[in-house]
């Protein structure tokens, strides 16, 4: 596959969240505000990109029987690096994200890309694939958080946007069910554009 296609495909046509329906749990939990959603998206991007890179480098010398445990070690190490980094430099956001940074380990996208792509492709391709999938995830998170923060709190990145027009906050937007509905609506729009994705 060509490198550019490799990069653009996970962003839209084969998006991990809205096409493969992976990583939904964190997409519901951290999208109340834009800032944590963005940080979460970038953290996952970092982990997918580098776990793909490391696993791709290891792939030829790795017995298939122990690959899962090696993947876990690599991913867990990267997640701990991210977690410590956030605690050191972005303490407030880290507090808001709470356990969800640690739970990146269980994010299906990370191990899914390692298993499905990195173990069978060259390091550079794998790195780009991980990067693109992470960004595809981050894009959906930011999109959901944009609507939830705008209509739920009337703000964007904490700046007052709608409240000055006398907007009444929609509290349902702050509840997780609404995140699911918004993701559903994004899938709806996405599939009506990409007709080949529609089930018969």
Partner 1 sequence: MGLRKFVDKIKPTFSEGGKLSFLHSTFEGFETFLFVPNTTTSKGAHIRDCNDIKRVMITVVVALLPALLFGMYNIGYQAGIEGIWPAFWFGLLEMLPMIIVSYVVGLSIEFAFAQKRKHEINEGFLVTGLLIPMVMPVSVPLWIVALSTAFAVVIGKEVFGGTGMNVFNPALLARAFAFFAYTPQMSGEAVWYADAKTGATALEQLATTGGMEWSVLDAFIGLIPGSAGETSTAAILIGAAILLFTGVASWRIMLSVFVGGLAFGYLFDAVGLTTYPAYYHLLVGGFAFGAVFMATDPVTSAQTNCGKWIYGFMVGALAVLIRVINPAYPEGMMLSILFMNALAPLIDYFVVERNIARRKKLIKNVK
Q: Footprint of partner 1 on this chain (CB under 8 A)? A: 168, 170-173, 175, 181, 184, 188
Q: In this complex, which beta carbon is closest to partner 1, that of residue 119 or of residue 173? A: 173
Q: In this complex, which beta carbon is closest to partner 1, that of residue 85 or of residue 147? A: 147
Q: In this complex, which beta carbon is closest to partner 1, that of residue 98 or of residue 192? A: 192
Q: Minimum distance from CB of 40 to partner 1 (Å)?
A: 25
Residues 6+ apart with CB under 8 A from 111: 71, 75
Q: Minimum distance from CB of 181 to partner 1 (Å)?
A: 6
Q: Residue 84's closest CA among 107, 62, 58, 102?
A: 102
Q: Minimum distance from CB of 3 to partner 1 (Å)?
A: 37
Q: In this complex, which beta carbon is closest to partner 1, that of residue 24 or of residue 174? A: 174
Q: Minimum distance from CB of 195 to partner 1 (Å)?
A: 15
Q: Minimum distance from CB of 168 to partner 1 (Å)?
A: 7
Q: Residue 17's closest CA among 200, 198, 189, 184?
A: 184
Q: In this complex, which beta carbon is closest to partner 1, that of residue 67 or of residue 191? A: 191
Distance CA 39, CA 154 (A): 20
């Amino acid at each position: 596959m060509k490198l550019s296609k490799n990069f653009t495909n996970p962003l839209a046509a084969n998006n991990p969240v809205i096409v493969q329906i992976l990583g939904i749990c964190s997409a519901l939990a951290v999208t109340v505000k834009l800032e944590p959603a963005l940080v979460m998206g970038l953290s996952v991007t970092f982990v997918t990109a580098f776990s793909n890179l490391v696993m791709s480098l290891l792939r030829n010398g790795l017995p298939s029987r122990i690959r899962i445990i090696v993947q876990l070690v690599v991913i867990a190490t990267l997640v701990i690096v991210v977690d410590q980094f956030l605690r050191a430099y972005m303490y407030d956001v880290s507090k808001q994200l709470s356990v969800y940074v640690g739970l990146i380990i269980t994010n299906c996208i990370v191990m899914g890309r390692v298993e499905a792509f990195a173990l069978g492709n060259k390091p550079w391709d794998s790195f780009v694939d991980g990067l693109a999938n992470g960004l595809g995830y981050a894009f959906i998170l930011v999109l959901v958080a944009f609507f939830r923060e705008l209509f739920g709190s009337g703000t964007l990145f904490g700046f007052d946007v709608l409240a000055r027009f006398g907007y009444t906050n929609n509290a349902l937007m702050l509840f997780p069910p609404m995140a699911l509905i918004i993701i559903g609506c994004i899938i709806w729009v996405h599939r009506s554009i990409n007709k080949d994705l529609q089930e018969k």
